[in-house]
């Protein structure tokens, strides 16, 4: 995912370490290179600009330049700022109340797969998740969730194919859930190719009815800044509590992961890194920064 960004950073930092005595100009030149690398990785312009300004402010401090290994210090400053940009601390799911999780996102982002992955994770953590199909537009989506549920051995609520009212489905699903003894309810919702009014209206109704503890946007990292703008839209519509970024295993340039937190103010809680149902990982900003720096 971040290979090209990592390569550029590696080159810049290697050059910086190779300089006998680092001057402010060396740092400014290095940061200029890094800024270009961030923009090439599809990081939003203002995010990249502000990020570089922060790093510079810390890196040109007299103590850093006078230290024994200024190059190392600058890498550390960069690492810490990167972790901060990615969200700082890992933000866990809040599930100590109703346990209702609403998954939303565009078609193809990975919602249904992620619903299965999340159910599998929660089950391993000792929870009793249930899956609920609320995509009434694509019968295939209901079948897909049923299949995923079977694979992870989690009960799935599948509405009748003729149902059109998503709130009615949710109400019936809640009654069903009471008979299943579950403690986390994962609602998989309909998507679209793009955000449209109908999608937003339906999601708002469902959200208002369920009052979920977590409203998680499933966003495809491969769509770069598109993923960030989708997150902003969904957040304005229903108020998301976090993001699950999928397809981090692909060759996307990483801009979505890097800009997401800063632009939306919402934490990335999980990352999907493959099609298999055990390939969902907690998103740890610190570890991600390690990975980017290689
Ligand atoms: P939905 O339309 O949002 O429900 O998306 P799906 O769950 O049907 O996923 C769309 C495609 O993306 C499927 O082929 C999934 O296997 C694939 N997919 C989902 N998550 C990931 C991921 O993290 N990595 C990769 N490589 N593929 C994924």
Contact 291, 39 (CB under 8 A): no
The count of other CB atoms within 10 Å of the CB of residue 209 is 14
Confidence (pLDDT) at 60: 84
Ligand 1, residues 1, 105, 107, 110: which to mutate, most atoms within 8 A of Cβ?
110
Q: How confident is the model at residue 65 (pLDDT cuts 50, 70, 90)?
A: confident
Q: How far is the CA of 220 from the centre of ligand 1 (A)?
A: 8
Q: How far is the CA of 109 from the centre of ligand 1 (A)?
A: 6
- Please identify, by atom number, the ligand 1 atom nearest to the C-alpha of residue 273: 23
Polymer length in residues for the chain = 294
Give the tens place of pLDDT for each residue, 19-63. 878 888 989 999 999 999 999 999 999 999 999 999 999 888 767
Q: Which residue, judged by its Cα, is nearest atom 26 of ligand 1?
A: 274
179 alpha carbon, distance to own chain's centre? 33
pTM for this model (two decimals)? 0.94
- Report the C-alpha gap between 62 and 206 in whole angstroms: 55
Confidence (pLDDT) at 154: 98
Q: Is the pLDDT of residue 178 over 80?
A: yes
Give the tens place of pLDDT for each residue, 244-289. 999 999 877 788 889 999 999 999 999 999 999 999 999 999 999 9
Nearest to 46 by CA among 195, 225, 221, 223: 225
Give the tens place of pLDDT for each residue, 97-119. 899 999 999 999 999 999 999 99
Q: How confident is the model at residue 138 (pLDDT cuts 50, 70, 90)?
A: confident
Token pair belonging to 94: 């809040």
CA 6-84-71 angle, 5° bins: 55
**Is 192 annotated as ligand-binding?**
yes
- Please identify, by atom number, the ligand 1 atom nearest to the C-alpha of residue 279: 23
Ligand 1, residues 113, 147, 245: which to mutate, most atoms within 8 A of Cβ?
113
- Report the C-alpha gap between 162 and 160 in whole angstroms: 5
Mean pLDDT of 196-213: 94
- Report the C-alpha gap between 7 and 23 in whole angstroms: 23
Confidence (pLDDT) at 20: 74
CA 136-137-141 angle, 5° bins: 75
The overall average pLDDT reported for the chain is 92
Give the tens place of pLDDT for each residue, 230-239. 999 999 999 9
Q: Is the pLDDT of residue 183 over 80?
A: yes
What is the share, in percent, of the chain residues with pLDDT greater than 90? 76
Helix or strand or coil: residue 268?
A: strand
- Helical H segments across 60-138, by residue range: 62-66, 70-85, 111-124
Task: List b or e across 148-171, with b for residues whose CB sees 16 or more CB atoms inside 10 angstroms.
Answer: bbeebebbbbbbeeeeeebeebbe
Residues with a CB atom less than 6 Å from ligand 1: 105, 107-113, 191, 246-247, 249-250, 272-275
- Report the C-alpha gap between 2 and 247 in whole angstroms: 12
Confidence (pLDDT) at 48: 95
């Amino acid at each position: 995912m971040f290979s090209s960004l990592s390569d550029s950073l590696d080159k810049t930092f290697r050059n910086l370490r190779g300089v006998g005595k680092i001057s402010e100009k060396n740092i400014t030149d290095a940061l200029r290179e890094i800024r270009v690398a961030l923009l090439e990785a599809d990081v939003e312009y203002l995010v990249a600009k502000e990020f570089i300004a922060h790093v510079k402010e810390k890196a040109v401090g007299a103590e850093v330049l006078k230290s024994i290994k200024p190059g190392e210090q600058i890498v550390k400053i960069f690492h810490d700022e990167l972790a901060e940009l990615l969200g700082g601390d890992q933000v866990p799911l809040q599930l100590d109340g109703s346990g209702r999780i609403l998954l939303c996102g565009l078609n193809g982002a990975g919602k249904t797969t992620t619903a299965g992955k999340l159910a599998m994770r929660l089950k391993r953590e000792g929870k009793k998740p249930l899956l609920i199909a609320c995509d009434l537009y694509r019968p295939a989506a209901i079948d897909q969730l049923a299949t995923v549920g079977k694979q992870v051995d989690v009960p799935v609520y599948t509405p009748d194919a003729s149902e059109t009212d998503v709130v009615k489905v949710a109400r019936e699903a809640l009654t069903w859930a009471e008979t299943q003894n579950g403690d986390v309810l994962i609602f998989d919702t309909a998507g679209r190719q793009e955000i449209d009014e109908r999608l937003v209206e339906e999601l708002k109704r469902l959200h208002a009815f369920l009052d979920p503890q977590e409203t998680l946007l499933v966003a495809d990292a491969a769509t770069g800044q598109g993923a960030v703008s989708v997150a902003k839209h969904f957040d304005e519509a229903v108020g998301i509590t976090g993001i699950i970024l999928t397809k981090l295993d692909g060759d996307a340039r990483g801009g979505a992961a890097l800009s997401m937190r800063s632009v939306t103010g919402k934490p990335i809680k999980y990352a999907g890194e493959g099609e298999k149902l055990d390939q969902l990982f907690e998103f740890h900003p610190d570890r991600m920064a390690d990975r980017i720096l290689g």
